[in-house]
A and B are shown apart, each in its own frame.
Chain A
Amino acid sequence: MRQWVWVFIFLVLGGFSLAQDRTQVLVYGGDWTDLITLDPQVVYEFSGVMIADNLYETLVRFEGSDLATLRPGLAESWKVERGTTDWILTFKLRRGSRFSTGREVTAKDVVFSFERALALKGPGSFLFTDIAQLKPGATKALDPYTVEVRIPKSASPQSFLSILTFTIGGVVDSEEVQKNAKGGDLGKDWLTNNSAGSGPYRLVRWDRGNQVILEANPHARIKPKVPRVVLRYIQEPAVLRTALESGEIDIAEGLTPEGLKAIAANPRFKVVRAETLRLQYLGMNMKAGSPFANAKLREAMRYAVNQDELLQGLLQGNAVKTQTLIPKGLLGHNPTTPYKYDPNRARKLLAEAGYLQGLEFELLVSTGICGGGVPCPDVAAKLQADMAKAGFRARIRAIANAEVLATYRAQNHQVVLAGWSPDFPDPDGNATPWADYGARSLAWRNSYNDEVAAKLARQAALETDPQKRQALYKVLTEKVLREGPYVVLYQPAQPIGLSAKVEGFLKNPMMSAPLWQVSKQP
């Protein structure tokens, strides 16, 4: 008996042993709990998109943080032609791209993947069906290395190309997926926890709530610098920091502003700021009978927000100052920031609008976390304090995020503190929802029904000349800035803590992180 106790004690306490060379494994800690699938045609969550992006290749792609220049992916070249009724996009595939199974990527895999996206109707499928208006049968393999896609003239080929950089356009190994399909599910169940792509990595294992393990795809065209990536689920920020400091993880996403400050001050670590395309904004409901139907009142509100203090104080600089509806990083971003905090001017405008005693209104906020990692009620409290000096008495109503959304969708708010990220990296991902009442998105929720703005958004979406497009967006953004129902508060950046040994890590504004470019020093 006693010997067994000693054996046990030895087993438990006897030294550590490490199986792998530490520079050959990259450990990335963060809260990946939103991860529900890794199927490229279904995935639509931040962490899922980030991971799937490393497993699958798309026909075209963006590189780094540049979301304005399309680059070759699986397609080495492409052209857009104006047909009689359709836009015709022709893609020439490069030869020799291989899936993790060793099979070559051909046009039939592209056709299969696009048709699969349409058939599965995943949460991102509207990008294909609504934005690009892609129909089943519209994607054809002209030969093993040529794909033709036709979309109606009413859709924007620029937006479609941008959508194709997104995971929904990820190309899967059609043979492998069909082999694993059951009951007509097109392999959806199987692809949830398995991969069949030509990206630099393949999925080895996903233990839900615990870890996701990727390994270099032996047949990939792009060879990753670190052959194994482990994504560790760590939800608690204090623990995340402990794990980074102890060397257990190399990259920590989701640190608190204080944690980041401490990390930045330590030479063993560094902080990378990933810009996002998210906008945190106030939405004022303009429906008939609402005080915010009055343009003067909306203007007063723009002078009642102290953007600079919000950015420097609460957000500790983890955000970009912007006031227009297209975020920085996309074509058409308008850097103008004409509104400064001016309580006196706000009061004057309020008086002109007939509110001599100021105005009391309800400010609807989520109890959750806002962009930049700050609790939404804290943002609301700061706004409330600044607005009070300008004659606006905000009554904060903090409720669960889902309930905020339900109220907002039902147009039952007065003013809401909300966030928006475009569904695809194209200015139209913001312009149409924000400016076109008919799209039944943000403009509709805030009862902003302006035919000129809607027309401008539609015209800009279809414009193929980047310069003309830019000019159209300038007009649109100025107009909505002055007249619309929004006060854009900030564009959050996402700070990520790294070990100083890690080189080449980047997270782009669409939240994709090309992990294959990352290297690790001993």
Chain B
Amino acid sequence: MAAYLVRRLFLVLFVGVGITFVTFFIAQVVPTDPAVAALGENAREEQIREFRERYGLDRPLLVQYGIYLRRLLALDLGRSLRTGRPVAEDLKEFFPATLELSLAAFLVAVALGLPAGVWAALRQNRSPDLLVRLFALLLGSTPVFFLAILLLDVLHRQLGLLPGPGRLDPYLIPPPRVTGLVTLDALLAKDLAAFRDALHHLLLPAFVLGSASAALLARMTRAAMLEVLSQDYVRTAWAKGLAERQVVLRHALKNAALPILTLLGGLLGGLLSGAVLTETIFSWPGLGRYVTQSATSLDFPAVMGVTLLVGVVYSLLNLLVDLLYALLDPRIRYA
């Protein structure tokens, strides 16, 4: 097991380096000079030259890449061309917002998708099933920006039920930043009003972001459950007169869990890589917005930093899913 873990972690490292290599050289294909992009229309020639020198952009490509890797060994992601700050600092500032929103969206996806999928499978081809399938189709195919603007307009502007964009009511004093997760920071500061407001602010974006995942999850769960429900051992369980709850949760769902788990890992990974549209519409200061902005201003160190972070998070989640397999299915062993 330990050897397996070491091997997998080594693989994560390998993936990380691969990501930097690909991103770095793709960035060079863009025909524009990042110095010109960063300095704008009024910049003078000397300023542009000095900028290139300061960020080492005047050096040969391989040398630039070598320097990047050497810094990376010291966990230094370089400085952003746009903000001039260490990329790691920027990530520290933007990632918690994404983390908070993704976890909430993930919760929404699981809370809606899983029971809906199970329910639909148990009532196959009857009205609950049709209802779930219809909603899954609707939520899964509604463009995020449309859903987001629609819900904001109705629930916030017209009915005033839920707060607008942002993470906290501007009239509240925000809790001191400790973790960067506003809900958690509010709890740490024992500020119940801020906690409640932060939760309120999470509801809409988490629903919008989580709904597509919920739809996917519902369909996947339904399919996996249908397959398991037709197995002999489930029929036996029914025949033994076990309660529905036991049959569904212990015998069916546990055995349908593997494909669902794989999907969950992928979903969480996707959510954690930042959702540009949801973040933009809800003015959520997360990775998605940071990376789009960095990409449009040709801020390659920032883009590479985000790509690397997302890549590593994905790899680690994959590893976690694989380890959970062994927990769920005793036949699976890692050596």
Q: Say yes or no: is B143 at the interface (Cβ < 8 Å to chain A).
A: no
Using Cβ atoms and an 8 Å threshold, which residues of chain A touch B149?
A: 238-239, 242
In the complex the two chains form, is B39's CB within 8 Å of A239's CB? Answer: no
B40 interface residue per 8 A CB criterion: yes
Expressed in whole angstroms, the Cα–Cα distance for A8 and B171 within the complex equals: 23
Q: Nearest chain B CB to A167's CB is how many angstroms away?
A: 16
Q: Which of B131-139, B151-159, B262-270, B310-318 contacts A (4 or more CB under 8 A)?
A: B151-159
A406 at the interface (CB under 8 A from B): yes
**B165 and A239 within 8 A (CB):** yes
B149, B157, B177 — most chain A CB neighbours (10 Å): B157
Set of chain A residues within 8 Å of B171, measured between Cβ atoms? 18-20, 22, 25, 27
**Contact call B37/A208, Cβ cutoff below 8 A:** no
For residue A418, CB closer than 8 A to chain B, the reply is yes
Instruction: Please report the C-alpha to C-alpha distance between residue A7 and residue B103 in the assembled complex, in whole angstroms.
Output: 20
Tell whether, in the assembled complex, residue A207 and residue B285 are in contact, meaning their CB atoms are under 8 Å apart. Answer: yes
- In chain A, residues 1-33, which have Cβ atoms closer than 8 Å to a Cβ of chain B? 11-12, 14, 16-20, 22, 25, 27, 33
Whether B285 contacts A400 by the Cβ 8 Å rule is no
With A400-B32, A406-B33 known as contacts, the answer to whether A242 contacts B167 (CB < 8 A) is no
Which of the listed residues B174, B192, B283 has the most CB atoms from chain A within 10 Å of its own CB? B283
Determine whether the beta carbon of A232 is less than 8 Å from that of B173: no
Which of B33, B44, B164, B200 is close to A126, meaning CB atoms less than 8 Å apart? B44
| CB–CB B97/A211 < 8 A | no
**Cα distance A16–B156 when bound, in Å?**
13
Smallest beta-carbon distance A134→chain B, Å: 16
Q: Are B165 and A243 in contact (CB under 8 A)?
A: yes
Q: Is A234 an interface residue (CB 8 A)?
A: yes
**Per-residue 0/1 for B301-329: is the Cβ within 8 Å of any A Cβ (1 yes, 0 no)?**
00000000000000000000000000000
Chain A: minimal CB distance from B208 (Å)? 12
Interface assignment of A245: CB less than 8 Å from any CB of chain B = yes
| Chain B CB within 8 A of A144 CB | no
Segment 193-235 of B: residues with Cβ below 8 Å from A: 193, 195-197, 199-200, 203
For B165, B167, B172, B192, the residue with the greatest tally of chain A CB atoms inside 10 Å of its CB is B165
Binding stretch for chain B, among A97-105, A108-116, A341-349, A419-427: A419-427
| Chain B 161-175 per-residue mask, 1 if CB under 8 angstroms from chain A, else 0 | 001111101111110
**With known contacts A11-B195, A209-B94, A400-B32, A20–B173 Cβ distance under 8 A:** yes
Q: Is the interface of A mostly helix, strand, loop or mixed?
A: mixed
Q: Per a CB cutoff under 8 Å, which of A17, A121, A205, A234 touches B174?
A: A205
Knowing A12-B196, A18-B171, the reply to whether A207 touches B157 (Cβ < 8 A) is: no
List which B62-109 residues lie within 8 A (CB) of chain A. Answer: 82-85, 90, 93-94, 97
Known A-B contacts A236-B280, A423-B42; the reply to A211 vs B200 at CB < 8 A is no
Given contacts A11-B196, A210-B285, A402-B32, contact A239 B94 (CB under 8 A): no
A84: CB under 8 A from chain B? no
Contact in complex: B47, A126 (CB < 8 Å) = yes
Complex partner residue of A402 from B44, B156, B163, B298, CB under 8 angstroms = B298
Does residue A521 face the partner (Cβ distance < 8 Å to B)?
Answer: no
The A/B interface has a contact count, at CB < 8 Å, of 148
A451 within 8 A of B: no
In the bound complex, CA of A205 to CA of B167 (Å): 15
Q: For window 185-221 of chain A, which residues contact chain B by CB distance below 8 Å?
A: 192, 205, 207-211, 213
Assess whether A248 is in contact with B164, with CB atoms less than 8 Å apart: yes
Q: Does A36 have its Cβ within 8 Å of any Cβ on chain B? A: yes
Report whether A12 and B160 are in contact in the complex, using a CB–CB cutoff of 8 Å. no
| Interface residue count on the A side (C-beta < 8 Å) | 55
Contacts of A243 in B (CB 8 A): 164-165
The answer to whether A19 and B285 touch across the interface, beta carbons within 8 angstroms, is no
Assess the B283–A232 pair: CB atoms within 8 A.
yes
A207 pairs with B280, CB closer than 8 A? no
CB pair A234 B283 closer than 8 Å: yes
Query: Is the pair B152, A242 in contact by a Cβ cutoff of 8 Å?
Result: yes
Asked if B197 contacts A123 (CB within 8 A), the reply is no
Least Cβ–Cβ distance between A278 and chain B, in angstroms? 10
CB of A409 closer than 8 Å to a CB of B: yes
A209-B290, A402-B32, A405-B36 known; A36 vs B153 contact (CB < 8 Å): no
Judge if B281 is at the interface, Cβ distance under 8 Å: yes
Q: How far, in angstroms, from A271 to B196 measured CA to CA in the complex?
A: 34
Check if B283 sits within 8 Å of A242, measured CB to CB.
no
A402 touches B84 (CB 8 A): no
* Interface residue A87 (Cβ < 8 Å from any Cβ of B): no
Residues A418 and B42 in contact in the complex (CB < 8 Å), given A18-B172, A245-B157? no
- C-alpha gap A18/B172 in the complex (Å): 7
With the chains together, A126 CA to B200 CA distance in Å? Answer: 48
> How many angstroms between the C-alpha atoms of A194 and B132 in the bound complex?
52
**Nearest chain-B residue to A18 (Cβ)?**
B171
Residue of B nearest to A121 (CB): B50
Interchain CB contact under 8 A, B289 and A209: yes
List 15 contacting pairs A-B, 8 Å CB cutoff, sorted by A. Answer: A18-B169, A18-B172, A20-B173, A207-B177, A210-B97, A211-B170, A239-B164, A239-B281, A242-B152, A242-B153, A242-B157, A246-B160, A400-B32, A402-B298, A440-B45
Interface positions of B (Cβ within 8 A of A) = 31-34, 36-37, 39-45, 47, 50, 82-85, 90, 93-94, 97, 149, 152-153, 156-157, 160, 163-167, 169-174, 177, 192-193, 195-197, 199-200, 203, 280-283, 285-286, 289-290, 293, 296-298
Having A19-B193, A130-B44, A233-B285, one finds 5 other A-B pairs with CB under 8 Å, namely: A19-B173, A25-B171, A205-B174, A405-B36, A420-B41
